[in-house]
Chain A
Amino acid sequence: MNLRIHDYFERGKKVKIIVNDETIEAFEGECLSVVLFITNKKNLRTSPKLKENRGMFCMMGSCQECVVLLDGKKVTSCNIFIKDGMEIKTGNLNVL
């Protein structure tokens, strides 16, 4: 089943983004955390002590669980909107 609802709005044009070296298709302007969630890339950051996977949680910029590396910079993916060719890295982001 397509999880995107197309009844009310037309989305932007189809673009490609790279997530951990894998290319996935999305619509331009869609929310990054939502696209990752519905394409089953739910593991975003790794927790600091227990090294557990964490993922999108609050969707309003509060919890900071959806942090990923976008073009090498830490961002909360819930307020990032897809642009063609974005490069995303997930997992252990605490690299110096």
Chain B
Amino acid sequence: MCYKKEYDVIIIGAGPSGVKSALTCSKKGLKVLIIDSNGNSGGQIYRAPPKSYIKKSEKTFEENLIQLKFSEDLTKNNIDTAYNHTVWQVSPGFKIDAFNENGTIQWNTKNLIVATGTYEKIIPFDGWTTPGVIGLAACTILLKAHQTLPGNKIVLAGNGPLLISVAYYILKFGGKVDAIVDTSSKFEWIKSMISLIFNPKNFIQGISWILKIIFSRVPIYSNSLINKVSKKENGISVEIQNIKNKQIKKLTTEVLAVGHGLTPSTDISRLLKINHSYDDLKGGWIPKLDKYFKSSMKGLYIVGDGSGISGAIAAEEKGELAAYSILKDLKLIDETEFENNTSKVIKKLKRYEIFAKGIAKLNATPKSLIENISNNTVICRCEDITKKDIIHAAENGARNLNQIKSWTRFGMGPCQGRTCQYSVAKIASEHLRCNIKDLGYLTGRTPLRPFPLDKAIGDFEYEEITKVEAAPL
């Protein structure tokens, strides 16, 4: 694709929120670029299969249909797409630097919509670094995008709706679930069902998934967590512990998929020094935004789950609101049209957010999960930093996440704390008996993703280097 240097609007992330923003902006004639590190639109929730996969027949599943619609709509509306491009730097103004396999590229815009979604929260336990232990979200990507079962035998653990959705897809695709290990109780599920009424479509879908799981006689361990995982010759050994009576059950399986909910991706908003606030029911730290998802920085919008976890359907509404706000600022729609368009969307969004709060309660991190982490458990996977190291830093005076980082090297590895920041904060706040908010968050740093220097520099001959005059002796 031949790109322009400057766009009216640039959107980072081609998931449901980013796509909706792009379509809404381009319908009023704005030149839009949408960037994504994946090879296609859809984000993680509707992630497209690899390019080489060719659809066999009309037989399909819902996520795939939605993704195909996204692709079609983006093409129809002449929206420039930069797939397979990873953004590694965003500077105020805005300059967006990205790389792909050929090298680096920079684009400019006055209106930036960040729709970078979420990461999975995975609270550590003994042996969680064992190969064969993967995220629940990773498991859905394997199933839905790559059309592959992760193993012949799988244990699913953690909490929240993803547990049910992953179990459903494994069964649908002919796989076997050895056990579902849920930190929530059955009563907590029933309680959360009340809020599900605000989103009837997901409610009905959820019920049909649960029925399939029940009919397949998958053992469900409620009120339970994974105590320990160890490598065995042909798989892994998983120790399941009941939170209440501490009883332990051992299983041998091939793969353990585990996840404890989602946390907003704040890499870019932290880098741009936007103020953040803490809301556990929205996944942790979230950027401060107005009701149209506009930040305190002129022209910067943060939409989708990156503005607080509320799911894929709500993400579209958020993307749409941000787009209307840009259109109003650029005087492409007047005050009346803006009010008419947004009031409907805000109403819908409010309903979805009640639903999301109900779900979020299922994903609240129970204290037992944090207490269960042993001292020698690795928390920061990149740098091999254990719980003991974090507590040591706290005991010696580290009082916020940045200080713990300097002390231990947690968050200095290639993932920059994306995998462990939440757990480190939980561990430190438990130990220091302080509010997790008081620990703050890691300062945003570039590059947002590691990339090789040779990519940044590109290919050149010695003669092409601009020589500077040598300093006088």
Contact = CB atoms under 8 A, between A and B. Distances in A.
Interface string A46-62: 01111011111111111
A72 B450 CA distance: 17
Contacts of B129: 47, 52, 54
Contacts of B44: 60
Contact of B131 (A8, A44, A74): A44
Contacts of B146: 30-31, 34
Contacts of A31: 50, 146
A61 B131 contact: no
Contacts of B39: 81
B467 interface: no
Contacts of B414: 64, 67
Interface string A32-50: 0010011000111001111
B347 interface: no
How big is the A interface, by class? 35 or more
B125 to A, nearest CB: 14
Q: Determine the main DSSP class of B at the interface with A.
A: loop
A87 interface: no
Contacts of B413: 48, 64
How big is the B interface, by class? 35 or more
B322 interface: no
Interface string B388-419: 00000000000000000000000001110011
Given A29-B52, A61-B37, A65-B381, A55 B138 contact: no
A47 B119 contact: no
Contacts of B57: 8
B49 interface: yes
B60 A5 contact: no
A1 interface: yes
A10 B51 CA distance: 11
Contact of B135 (A27, A53, A59, A81): A59
B366 to A, nearest CB: 22
Given A5-B148, A8-B147, A34-B148, A63 B415 contact: yes
A73 B452 contact: yes
B415 A64 contact: yes
A74 B452 contact: yes
Given A30-B146, A61-B86, A50 B54 contact: no
B52 A27 contact: yes
Nearest to A64: B414
B152 interface: yes
Interface string B46-76: 0001111111110111001000000000000
A81 B381 contact: no
Contacts of B174: 5
B194 interface: no
B152 A43 contact: no
Contact of B134 (A29, A50, A56, A73): A56
15 contacts: A5-B173, A9-B49, A34-B142, A37-B142, A47-B129, A47-B384, A49-B383, A57-B381, A58-B120, A60-B119, A60-B138, A61-B37, A65-B381, A65-B415, A79-B84
Which 4 pairs from chain A and chain B are nearest by CB?
Answer: A29-B52, A55-B131, A59-B138, A42-B131
